[in-house]
Structure 1
Amino acid sequence: MNILFICGCLEGGKDGVGDYVQILAKELLLQQHEVAILAINDPFLSVNEEEKIETILSLRLSNKKSWGSRVIKSREWIDEIKPDHIMWHFVIYGYHPRGFSFRPIHIINKLLKNYSQVSIMFHELWIGAAKEDSIKNKIIGEIHKLIIKYLVWDLKPVKVFTSNSTYMGLLSKEGIPSFLLPIFSNIPYIPGAEILFEDILNARGIVNTEESLKLGIFGTIPFVWQKEKFISQLKKTKSSITLFIAGRSNQYTAAELKDDLKKEIPSLNIIILEEQPPAIISGFLQYIDMGITLTAPQLLEKSGVYAAYVEHGLPILFAGLDKNFNCGNKDLVDDNHHLKWELDGFPEQVKMEKFTPRNIKEKIARNILEIIGEAQSKVSIPLIKM
């Protein structure tokens, strides 16, 4: 099958969806399919670029160019590669800084309606969907919801995908049937990478962490999570703890978190690793005993950090705040995860059981092919529910 992915941006390491699309495309190539990628609103270019990213044909269109010129270039390029199926990987903030992307969506819909086999993958939905969210976010979210409903109503895709069960429930309440396409990790499991990570620790003069319970926080640190309860449990534990904080955060910074934790627990050993290449992060995930997720449990399926922990065989400590999306039982994630720990059950042992690392990309790619291979009728919804 010849598949075209459309996303906003393809700048490596700068856009999570762009990175995801590239990894998925590589997996499909391994399965002997043809894949191309169109980045239609790339902010990291001043001129358009057609290139090959590790044998994957791609076209990156600068957001500094007019939409009219981008549509003409896109149509010429799509007609040249003749895809059997087009999948639009959609993020509402990918086309407007506040998500008010009425015009871009109308323009891209008009382009894609020239092709019969088009599906949408919603990586994000509207903000403000949880009961606990602010009034401001709920108001903005109603605008986002209208835009998303307009997108589906106008385009009539053959299939709609989303990343988690909660989003499936929210879409269903708006009359939009969808399929689950879980997020896999952008950090591949690299056998032996733990040695690379240990070399970094040795170069920094960090030793003697083997006798402590090694906890790791990776990725974005949100402003709101169960921080106070986490601190309370750290104070109660009899184990020696070393906390590693890795990656970049555009919200609450690692330095701020370290300062807050040190005020409460001066003796706590905290090591900040900053942003690192994937091989070092894989080594970090193999080195620690337990990963801490700060995402709401109801949205874990869309978390690349959670996926990285799972794919590296790590026990996981849930420290995200529960959210009520009013979606029934679909609010619960992975109840059968045998290495899931709640803060109330904070482990005392230094050595934790791990499980065999898993590569779920192959299964996800096969699921996509199976679902779009069955695509016949289009998703048709009323724009306004009566």
Structure 2
Amino acid sequence: MPDNINIVFICSSLEQGHDGVGDYTRRLSAALIKAGHSCAILSVSDRHTENILESTQQADGVDVPVLRLSSDIEIKKRFEIAKEWVDKIDPQWLSLQFVPFGYHPKGLKLGLSKMLLTLSKGRRWHMMFHELWVGMANEESKKLHLWGQAQRILIKSLIKNLKPAVIHTQTRLYQTLLAKMSFKAGYLPLYSNIPVVGSQSGERAAEGEISFVVFGAIHDKAPIQQFAKEAAQYADKFKRPLTLTIIGRGNNEQQRWAGAWAEAGLPVNRLGELPARQISEVLSGATIGLSATALAVIEKSGSYAAMREHGLHVISVSKAWTPTGVAKPAIPEGVTEYTIGNLEECIADSKFIPYGSSVEQVSAKFARALINLKAE
């Protein structure tokens, strides 16, 4: 097989800045194109366009060819248009960037593999699982467990029908869960969708103000009130100011975090949605990142990847979330788990550990896997 690959990525949506998987795929494509490969992206259920949009999108200074098909178009017609476009490109590979809810409001899209197979004659499949199913933790409701079982059945059917030559996922937990279904998935770590502005030396102030930052989706039930209370005690004990900066679209959880911080008598800055460059500047000036994503799946969080890539140690401040039927995954490097009473220890353990998962490194690993037909 030649060393240069020709691939069409398939995802649900490609609205820049509004779809994490689309942003991920665009940066991956750009890095592969820079390395001499041929890439294009097809969105087959795009909720951000009203019709058919063929164009290029730019990532990291590279133009990436795209075809966006509105979710309003009847699905059979969408795939007829997609097939004509894919056949003109004539790629060796098709890569499905899979998120269940990208293709159906309940993540239960029947007949998806049948539609996808119309594109695949003479081509190999790659599958990247950004998410699997809901209800995979002990703490979740019976309804979510049943819902997740239905999604699991459809995922198993999708893999069996497409027969991918290579499968990847970005969390060790998902790797384990796919293995329990008898599917071998390689580990392809997530990179940040927020490019670093300037250089990152990893030098953070050892004394003076501690600036916490959280951005993106804030998951519910994180113990932020207790965390804020301990932060105030820490500030008083060590005479070090502690601030919290929140970046992202406002919601109830963001309001709860800001309220808990203010109630503890500590300063909080809510910056709202920002362009990527400004997010990078804020992250570069912070001391420690906070994440409310469950520790077992923190590796799939784009916010976590961005904080780590910007030289930040991350403290996990999340609700209890224990995967059912598997061992608890190891805590990734550069992350500390907050439990009630250990904030002082979390801050003491916060140190710069380089995040070795840039888009260039991940794209090189991805290309090797397809060329060798073996995921690392």
Cα separation, partners in 2 of 1:349 and 1:10, compared to 1, 3 Å: closer
Q: Which residue of 2 aligns with 1:381?
A: none
2:124 is the alignment partner of 1:117: yes
Cα separation, partners in 2 of 1:341 and 1:94, compared to 1, 3 Å: closer
User: Which amino acid is the alignment partner of residue 371 of structure 1?
Assistant: A
Contact 2:317 2:337 (8 Å CA) reproduced: no
Q: Which residue of 1 aligns with 2:31?
A: 27
Report SS of the residue matched to 2:31.
helix
Report SS of the residue matched to 2:106.
coil
Over the residues paired in the alignment, what is the CA RMSD in angstroms? 2.5
Q: Which residue of 2 aligns with 1:15?
A: 19
TM-score scaled by structure 2? 0.87
2:100 is the alignment partner of 1:92: yes
User: Which amino acid is the alignment partner of residue 14 of structure 1?
Assistant: H
2:142 is the alignment partner of 1:156: no
Measured after TM superposition, the shift of residue 279 of structure 1 is 0.6
Q: Which residue of 1 aligns with 2:271?
A: 273
Cα separation, partners in 2 of 1:215 and 1:57, compared to 1, 3 Å: same
CA distance in 2, matches of 1:94, 1:348: 36
Contact 1:8 1:94 (8 Å CA) reproduced: yes
Q: Percent sequence identity over matched residues?
A: 29
Q: Which residue of 2 aligns with 1:2?
A: 6
Contact 2:295 2:337 (8 Å CA) reproduced: no
User: Which amino acid is the alignment partner of residue 6 of structure 2?
Assistant: N
Cα separation, partners in 2 of 1:326 and 1:134, compared to 1, 3 Å: closer
CA distance in 2, matches of 1:301, 1:115: 34
Flag structure 2 segments of 5+ consecutive residues without an equivalent: 201-206
Q: Which residue of 1 aligns with 2:228?
A: 231
Report SS of the residue matched to 2:157.
helix
Task: List 4+ stretches of structure 1 deviating above 6 A.
Answer: none
Measured after TM superposition, the shift of residue 16 of structure 1 is 0.6
Contact 1:216 1:244 (8 Å CA) reproduced: yes
Report SS of the residue matched to 1:49.
strand
Q: Which residue of 2 aligns with 1:256?
A: 256
Cα separation, partners in 2 of 1:349 and 1:361, compared to 1, 3 Å: closer
Higher alpha-carbon deviation: 302-311 or 220-229 = 220-229
Flag structure 1 segments of 5+ consecutive residues without an equivalent: 194-209, 378-386
User: Which amino acid is the alignment partner of residue 110 of structure 2?
Assistant: F
Contact 1:292 1:318 (8 Å CA) reproduced: yes
CA distance in 2, matches of 1:114, 1:248: 42
Contact 1:297 1:321 (8 Å CA) reproduced: no
CA distance in 2, matches of 1:349, 1:357: 19
CA distance in 2, matches of 1:170, 1:358: 24
Q: Which residue of 1 aligns with 2:294?
A: 296
CA distance in 1, matches of 2:38, 2:89: 10
CA distance in 2, matches of 1:99, 1:183: 22
Measured after TM superposition, the shift of residue 235 of structure 1 is 3.4
Contact 2:211 2:287 (8 Å CA) reproduced: yes
Identify which of 23, 48, 51 aligns with 1:44.
Answer: 48
Identify which of 303, 306, 329 aligns with 1:305.
Answer: 303
CA distance in 2, matches of 1:172, 1:73: 35
Measured after TM superposition, the shift of residue 27 of structure 1 is 0.7
Measured after TM superposition, the shift of residue 45 of structure 1 is 1.2
Cα separation, partners in 2 of 1:356 and 1:19, compared to 1, 3 Å: same
Q: Which residue of 2 aligns with 1:56?
A: 64
Report SS of the residue matched to 1:182.
coil
User: Which amino acid is the alignment partner of residue 17 of structure 2?
Assistant: G
Measured after TM superposition, the shift of residue 298 of structure 1 is 0.9
Measured after TM superposition, the shift of residue 329 of structure 1 is 4.7
Q: Which residue of 2 aligns with 1:219?
A: 216
Deviations 1:17-53 (A, max 9, x none): 0011001111111111111000111111111011111
Measured after TM superposition, the shift of residue 347 of structure 1 is 5.8
Measured after TM superposition, the shift of residue 240 of structure 1 is 1.8
Contact 2:244 2:267 (8 Å CA) reproduced: yes
Q: Which residue of 1 aligns with 2:115?
A: 108
